[in-house]
Structure 1
Amino acid sequence: MEAIHSLQTDLATHAHHFYHWERQQPAKIYLRQPVGNHYIDYSWGEVGRQARIMATYLNSLGLPPRSNIGLVSKNCAHWIIADIAILLSGHVSVPFYPTLTADQLRQVMEHSGCPVLFVGKLDNWPAMKPGVPNGVHGISFPPYGPAAPAPDPGLMPWEDVLKNYEPMLDSPLRRPDDIYTIVYTSGTTGSPKGVMLDMKAAATFLKAVAPVARLDVKDARYFSYLPLCHIAERNVVEAGSLTSGGTIYFAESLDTFAKNLVAARPTHFLAVPRIWTKFQLGILAKLPQKKLDRLLRIPLLSDFIKRKIRKGLGLNDAVFILTGAAPMPISLIQWFRRLGITIQEAYGMTENLGAVSMMPVDEIKDGTVGKLYDGMDVKIDPDTGEVLTRADWLMRGYYREPEMTAAVLRDGWLYTGDVGELDENGYLKITSRVKDMYKTPKGEYVVPAQIEFGFADNNFVEQICVAGQNLPQPVALVVLSEMGRHADRMLVAQSLEQTVSALNPRLHTYERIRKVVVVKDTWTVENNMMTPTMKIKRNVVEKQYEPRLEPWYSREETIVWEE
């Protein structure tokens, strides 16, 4: 492929790749938007036509060069078209999470200073709308299907722009030092920060990952459902498709997720650990572990079962299966590997374009997050154990936050906030977050993540947070899985006690779990207990339950049920 070849020799930007495929395969389907039982398809040529018209419109607004343009929507075809339009117009794409409250949207809109906002597929735009500052020019995506909400009359309809403006005829390229996008972090701790990424960083990153990300696969297919405003989905789905000339399939809703995934049969698939856990629990609900183990020991049946499971998930054609955004238990990775599903764990953060290391598919080293990418340097701070990264694709800094930038970018190194180890073969192991570690009243350090992994094999547990900074011993707060919620309470309690009994002897005395508290409510994005990428907001969870930790700790029983 010409574009892939150029990637190996030059610093080809997203714009280079888009122009190439727009010219080479204008009739090929690029975006597939599900609506009920059918798809609305957009070819590369049609995406180019709409993006070029929208770029003309943006430039007709008289904005200063390289203005920040906001984008708030769930994943959909026009998210990609709008992002490409912003790229072609010479402005800066600033995407926001579609789950923001009005106050959260106002915070990032005011901080970024966006004069224009694309508004797309959202659950409750009327509730979010008050967060848009006065004077912002809004553009609405076209509705998908008759069930879509009525358009906001205060927004410029996408279709009106297409009717009244002409496509941009030239194919402008951007300077390497131009800011390509500002990505606001999901804010697991504190306020979101706007990470500035430039054209050179994005192109250099693509050149580094192309050899291992299977971007040369013919007729590549991508399935988009994790927030596109997050760096992982932006890289794997958007950048991957632009580079490979592949097709993006979207999930219509949570209810249709499984059906949409099977229809897409992606060649490239990214899922966060919680999704993999849900897949596992779904499989075990149909095939209990003992029966599955028995079938996998029978040679002919084993191959049949593996093929059936892969096909049932929609992963029968997948050649690149990735997990990231949060740590994944080794046992879960190994469980899927037994089924013929090899999940490659990747590690990175928005500030280094999400690209530090990835597990090689043919040189797996469990317990690590893989090997460093070519061009990525890592060193471990000898005093704190913090992981420091250096590469040509680091962020330029935090938008309008010079002091925050100076705190994490020092002498060309990015201080990640993660604690880890690097072995002689270039494999990186992440052991904790600097901010997640806490001291007991006696001064010993507790690393919650390592304790939480001890519950990974208990299928009654879906979510866990180890807390208890002011207690003599840690307490494990757990949310039960669907399987756990439907099981007999005594059976669940016995299972949790067995997990604690097996785990505690492997821990230091001060790390041993004293109580397991089964909480009533699931932690979700909607109740602010999780980020949009399904990472638990540890500080929010701890604050929620902190007043009750001591009374729970004082109870006689090991397993406590929140009433």
Structure 2
Amino acid sequence: MDTTKKLPLDMLYHWEATKADSPYMTQPIGNGKVVEYTWGRAIDEARRMASYLKSLNLPEKSRIGLISKNCAHWIMTDWAIWLAGHISVPLYPTLNADTVNYILNHAECEVLFVGKLDDWDSMKPGVPDSVRCISYPLSPPNDFETWDDIVAKYPPLEGQVHREPEELATIVYTSGSTGRPKGVMLSFENMAFAAAGGIETLGVGPEERMLSYLPLAHVFERTFVELGSLYAGFHLYFAESLDTFVQDLQRAQPTLFLSVPRLWVKFQHGVLQKVPKEKLERLLKIPLVNKLIKKKVLKGLGLDKVKLAGSGSAPLSNDVLDWYRNLGLELLEGYGMSENFAYSHMNKPGRTRTGYVGEALPGVEVKISEQGEVLVKSPATMMGYYKDEEKTKEAFTEDGFLKTGDKGEIDEMGRLKLTGRIKEIFKTSKGKYIAPAPIENRLMSHDAIEMVCVSGANQTQPHALVLLGEEIRPKMADESFRKEIEESFTQLIKDVNKTVDPHEQLAFITVVSDEWSIENSFLTPTLKLKRNVVEDAYQEKVDSWYAKKQPVIWQ
């Protein structure tokens, strides 16, 4: 069907009329059990919840909060909020109380859906007493009104509610790696344009299966999973927990699979723990055997049915990309941001180029500024930042292009290569400028490295902070293991330094003993490095590390 002129609620009414009895969402509820939601059941529950929200007599277009890990109720809540004439405000399920409080106050949320959460006790103090809370069947223990009681009590909202294309649909608070989150205002038209363009480009249809596990509060998952399934009509499965992830994958047998660089690296490390890299490469070179091996590895990952695999949110190292492609998984990198609903660039099957994030998606104009900054413009571009005219003005050029903050270049086929963040570029004591991302990308080719941060402002040469892979971190106290890593990293520095300009050559690698996680604020909720937090944490030690003049240093 032609989805180009359809808004999200139009698509809801379409499936309600044509696929009411078809399965839409599969929700695990523990002990290997699942609940199946047909399109009819999901829309009926959303209509009942919308009736309840209408009964509260909130001001028109009120902001309603939603904090939960991914589940069927997350999506039904989004629909219910729109059907009731309001605006959804998703919050990451990993936020601390202070940020929860900031967002609920800034958006003036009067109602909050409290869903599936691992650490509700630490978030709860951030919820103002005046906010009315509603819980899901999978919520932590609470005394709030429950979803099931409400949908049992209220009749479904009748008819087809119409929301205008230019109306505000949702406010997405950026997981910003610096400062307070900004509220990105996205309209129904923004969402519709991105969803329709994405599924059309990838040729996605109703027969697909997808596992939803990256946070729906992030635009990457929201665009391609929530809105993608709404526009293409495919089956969504949810993950129960990290412990059951492999079983969840096996249940879903996804044909489409999205992930972020840190997780693609973790999956790879998991395989290489069982089969050393050299052995795997040898086996993949043997005719007849290689097909069997590729299938076995992908089946072990639960990805043997995947037709399209995507990576986004941050750059993926070329070596990791090539490793997956060598296994026969066409891993497509994409590029977007909250401010354009993750709709900007994407590699297309058969047209990929390693190190590039692909071509502009349909309807996206792109140009590079004189300073080398990537500028984009499309009907998916945000309305602006909520209650912040000044920052909104700063985000655009005079001719209406969105300033991405990324440096980039475009090849002869229109494919975009990102060469670093403008704000991440730092100056050495010799007055030379360095973009850390390309150097980090080269370092990430090493199997032992899970994450890396290249730094060195006001020093003679840059250095790298390295977090070892989770499975080998316990060996850090072992002397022979340290010796092995030191030899390997010394060689890595030599190899990397041959490929960069003299002023970019690394002085040393420091292996950190801390874990970098969302919980200690080193990572954003989408597992991106908070560079300023990482650099600040080690600032006091940096001068003494340079003074040692050793290629590898242990924290």
The structural deviation recorded for 1:483 is 4.7
The answer to whether structure 1 residue 496 and structure 2 residue 489 are counterparts is yes
Native 8 Å contact 1:215 1:243 kept in 2: no
The answer to whether structure 1 residue 523 and structure 2 residue 516 are counterparts is yes
SS at match of 1:500: helix
One-letter amino acid of the structure 2 residue matched with residue 432 of structure 1? G
Give percent identity, aligned residues only: 44
SS at match of 2:88: strand
Question: Partner of 1:336 in structure 2?
Answer: 324
1:384-434 superposed Cα distances (whole Å, 9 cap, x missing partner): 111110111100000001000000123211011000012232111110001
The structural deviation recorded for 1:227 is 0.5
Question: Partner of 1:380 in structure 2?
Answer: 368
Question: Partner of 2:341 in structure 1?
Answer: 353
The answer to whether structure 1 residue 232 and structure 2 residue 254 are counterparts is no
Q: 2:60 aligns with which of 59, 62, 65?
A: 65
| Superposition map of 1:189-228 within 5 A | 189-216=178-205, 218-228=206-216
One-letter amino acid of the structure 2 residue matched with residue 538 of structure 1? R
Q: 1:114 aligns with which of 109, 113, 120?
A: 109
One-letter amino acid of the structure 2 residue matched with residue 386 of structure 1? E
Native 8 Å contact 2:120 2:140 kept in 1: no
Native 8 Å contact 2:191 2:223 kept in 1: no
The answer to whether structure 1 residue 32 and structure 2 residue 26 are counterparts is yes
The structural deviation recorded for 1:309 is 1.5
Q: Whole-Å Cα distance in 2 between the matches of residues 521 and 233 of structure 1?
A: 29
The answer to whether structure 1 residue 364 and structure 2 residue 352 are counterparts is yes
Q: Whole-Å Cα distance in 1 between the matches of residues 285 and 122 of structure 2?
A: 54
| Superposition map of 1:166-315 within 5 A | 166-216=155-205, 218-315=206-303
The structural deviation recorded for 1:63 is 0.8
1:77-124 superposed Cα distances (whole Å, 9 cap, x missing partner): 111111111121111111000111111100111111111110001112
Q: 2:377 aligns with which of 390, 410, 416?
A: 390
Native 8 Å contact 1:105 1:128 kept in 2: yes
One-letter amino acid of the structure 2 residue matched with residue 128 of structure 1? M
Q: 1:158 aligns with which of 130, 142, 147?
A: 147
Q: Whole-Å Cα distance in 2 between the matches of residues 437 and 189 of structure 1?
A: 15
SS at match of 1:6: coil
One-letter amino acid of the structure 1 residue matched with residue 32 of structure 2? N
Q: Structure 1: 5+ residue runs without aligned partners?
A: none
Native 8 Å contact 1:265 1:315 kept in 2: yes
Native 8 Å contact 2:211 2:252 kept in 1: yes
Q: Whole-Å Cα distance in 2 between the matches of residues 15 and 214 of structure 1?
A: 22
SS at match of 2:419: strand
The answer to whether structure 1 residue 149 and structure 2 residue 144 are counterparts is no
Question: Partner of 1:552 in structure 2?
Answer: 545
Q: 1:18 aligns with which of 1, 8, 12?
A: 12
Q: Whole-Å Cα distance in 2 between the matches of residues 215 and 68 of structure 1?
A: 32
The answer to whether structure 1 residue 424 and structure 2 residue 377 are counterparts is no
Q: Whole-Å Cα distance in 1 between the matches of residues 458 and 352 of structure 2?
A: 39
One-letter amino acid of the structure 1 residue matched with residue 17 of structure 2? R
One-letter amino acid of the structure 1 residue matched with residue 172 of structure 2? V
One-letter amino acid of the structure 2 residue matched with residue 162 of structure 1? V
SS at match of 2:76: helix
Q: 2:2 aligns with which of 1, 6, 10?
A: 6
The structural deviation recorded for 1:452 is 0.8
Q: Whole-Å Cα distance in 2 between the matches of residues 219 and 376 of structure 1?
A: 28
Question: Partner of 1:131 in structure 2?
Answer: 126
Q: Whole-Å Cα distance in 1 between the matches of residues 80 and 489 of structure 2?
A: 52
SS at match of 2:41: helix
One-letter amino acid of the structure 2 residue matched with residue 232 of structure 1? F
One-letter amino acid of the structure 2 residue matched with residue 402 of structure 1? E
Native 8 Å contact 1:460 1:483 kept in 2: no
Q: Structure 2: 5+ residue runs without aligned partners?
A: none
1:227-250 superposed Cα distances (whole Å, 9 cap, x missing partner): 000000001110111111111111
1:173-223 superposed Cα distances (whole Å, 9 cap, x missing partner): 21011111111100112211110011111112233223222322x421111
How many residue pairs match? The answer is 548
Question: Partner of 2:470 in structure 1?
Answer: 482
One-letter amino acid of the structure 2 residue matched with residue 545 of structure 1? Y
One-letter amino acid of the structure 2 residue matched with residue 494 of structure 1? E
Native 8 Å contact 2:454 2:464 kept in 1: yes
SS at match of 2:2: helix
Native 8 Å contact 2:345 2:357 kept in 1: yes
SS at match of 2:211: strand
Native 8 Å contact 1:358 1:373 kept in 2: yes
One-letter amino acid of the structure 2 residue matched with residue 22 of structure 1? E
One-letter amino acid of the structure 2 residue matched with residue 134 of structure 1? D
| Superposition map of 1:443-454 within 5 A | 443-454=431-442
Question: Partner of 1:102 in structure 2?
Answer: 97
Native 8 Å contact 1:221 1:247 kept in 2: yes
Question: Partner of 1:401 in structure 2?
Answer: 388
The answer to whether structure 1 residue 534 and structure 2 residue 527 are counterparts is yes
1:315-344 superposed Cα distances (whole Å, 9 cap, x missing partner): 122122100000011111111111001100
TM-score, scaled to structure 2: 0.97
Native 8 Å contact 1:336 1:343 kept in 2: yes
Q: Whole-Å Cα distance in 2 between the matches of residues 205 and 77 of structure 1?
A: 22
Native 8 Å contact 1:195 1:395 kept in 2: yes
Runs of 4+ in 1 over 6 A off after TM superposition: none
Q: 1:84 aligns with which of 67, 72, 79?
A: 79
Q: Whole-Å Cα distance in 1 between the matches of residues 213 and 388 of structure 2?
A: 31
The structural deviation recorded for 1:254 is 1.0
SS at match of 2:89: strand
The structural deviation recorded for 1:446 is 0.9
SS at match of 1:284: helix
Native 8 Å contact 2:444 2:452 kept in 1: no
SS at match of 1:211: helix
TM-score, scaled to structure 1: 0.95
The structural deviation recorded for 1:24 is 1.4
SS at match of 1:482: coil
Native 8 Å contact 1:271 1:324 kept in 2: yes
Native 8 Å contact 1:222 1:264 kept in 2: yes
SS at match of 2:201: coil
One-letter amino acid of the structure 2 residue matched with residue 25 of structure 1? K
The structural deviation recorded for 1:478 is 0.6
SS at match of 1:114: coil
Q: CA RMSD for the aligned pairs? A: 1.3
Native 8 Å contact 1:11 1:200 kept in 2: no
